[in-house]
Amino acid sequence: MHRALQLGVYSGFRRLPSSRWSLRFGGRRELQQLVFPAADFRHILDDAGKVCDLYAGHPLSGLSPHKRGLLLQNLCKTVLASAHPHLQLEEPVSGRCVNGQRRTAQQALWDWTLGGRKAECKSCRLGWMASNHVWAINVSAVKLPLPGVRTLVPFDDLYLVVDTPDVIHILKHDLRTGVSTAGSETAVRGQKICVSGGRGAAHWRDARTAILRKLCAGRGQCEMIAEIPVSDIPESDQSLQAALSQEEKDKMYQGIPLSRMTPSLRALRIEQIGCEIDRKLNPRCSIFRQAGGDPQVDWLRDDVRVELKHTKAVQMKSGSWRVCFSKIKCAVDGLRETKAFDELWLAVYSPLGIDFFKSNGDLPYTSVGVREAFGNDLDIRSHAHETELRAALCSIRWQLERMGCCLTASVRW
């Protein structure tokens, strides 16, 4: 066995009451697993990326991308309402999805109506495109006209909120500049807007200047609505104050490895760790990440196609915990005759560490409607009374094992 491996006992099972243990496992026993110390992957964990370093200390960096997006959307709405007090501001009409179910407020085709005009708001941050070595902004899921799919835009005005390290820029987009397709996702999710600062703009400030110039000058006909210093945000918006205050109460992930990273970068780092663990467990196999140019899988172990999906354990308002793995390309009638992989790894990221489960992919997936073209979800929740993290993770592990998943290894902080 590799000297870095340790044969350990998952402490969560020890701390569960006897009755709960008996109910789930039919008797008191200790389940053993392979545990790697986080120090074995320090070279991966410490690489937080350029974006995390750039936004360190930003007042909104502690928020999840979803919550940050909602707050910036509300900031944009507040700015527009203040600039046009004579226009009536209305919430959107939710409507119904293609399956007939009523949309939630967040699923509406536009975000608000101002003076009778439907407005859609998208937010973004500066991102580093490592392949091109440029700073850029990237906005996804913009539903613009698409031949054979959409003939009309579901909104009248599109606003972009560009969150930079020192200033938040609110622009009215011209529905043209930087717009491009997003591959197979275009038909369902919409186009993307991508504008880069160019290779000559190595510093983020120069890149921002170049991006704003492309949007608002020359060919770009976007209109700058407002520029708000980041230092003024907490004092200028009560909803932001409330959210930041609430975020301070949730310190479960504060100081935890990978917590400062963007979700996409965290997914990449967990994939790297999973691949290294596979190498340690199978030293005689040939393992290549994304070998053969196959975009469907994360690495090959000899001829076995391995796909890894990760999720972050999140505590819901009820107190129970949830993990949800998304975009798993399982076999679906009319879409995919077979799975896009041979072996599926499921990684649960939590304040305690990362647990890696292995499966053949035959799992009770959740239907996600038109999004099934990109894969299905696997949604697991702890029981309502299991609000303590260790107990909740044990419940989630038990559910995964009942589905046929096997706990392969863990990394402990």
Shared domain check, 233 and 96: yes
Shared domain check, 54 and 40: no
What pLDDT score does 192 carry? Answer: 96
Shared domain check, 103 and 162: yes
Grouped pLDDT means (10 residues each) for the chain, 413 residues: 41 33 37 82 93 89 85 94 94 67 71 96 94 93 90 94 97 96 86 92 93 93 95 63 53 87 92 97 91 70 95 92 93 78 97 96 81 82 92 96 96 96
Q: Decide if 1 is inside a domain.
A: no
Q: Decide if 393 is inside a domain.
A: yes
- The DSSP secondary-structure symbol of 133 reads T
Shared domain check, 266 and 334: yes
What pLDDT score does 238 carry? Answer: 57
What pLDDT score does 254 carry? Answer: 83
What pLDDT score does 132 carry? Answer: 87
Range of the domain at 276: 6-48+261-412
Shared domain check, 153 and 199: yes
What pLDDT score does 226 carry? Answer: 96
Shared domain check, 242 and 98: yes
The residue assigned the tokens 């896009």 is: 340
Residue where a domain terminates, one of 193, 225, 249? 249
What pLDDT score does 13 carry? Answer: 35
Q: Decide if 342 is inside a domain.
A: yes
Shared domain check, 174 and 284: no
What pLDDT score does 243 carry? Answer: 57
Q: Decide if 255 is inside a domain.
A: no
Residue where a domain terminates, one of 223, 249, 275? 249
Query: What tokens were used for 387?
Result: 């609000």
What pLDDT score does 6 carry? Answer: 41
What pLDDT score does 246 carry? Answer: 54
Dihedral-angle region of residue 116 (phi above 0 means left; psi in -120 to 50 means alpha; beta otherwise): left
Non-local (6+) Cβ contacts of 385 within 8 A are 320
pTM for this model (two decimals)? 0.80
What pLDDT score does 241 carry? Answer: 56
Shared domain check, 108 and 97: yes
223-238 residue pLDDT tens: 999 999 998 875 555 5
Q: In the chain, how many domains are there?
A: 2
Strand partners, 378: 325
Q: Decide if 127 is inside a domain.
A: yes
β-pairing, 32-37 with 6-9?
Answer: antiparallel
Q: Decide if 135 is inside a domain.
A: yes
Shared domain check, 115 and 208: yes
Q: Decide if 200 is inside a domain.
A: yes
Shared domain check, 268 and 227: no
Q: List the 179-180 sheet strands across, edge first.
A: 127-129, 134-142, 191-196, 179-180
Q: Decide if 209 is inside a domain.
A: yes
Shared domain check, 190 and 200: yes
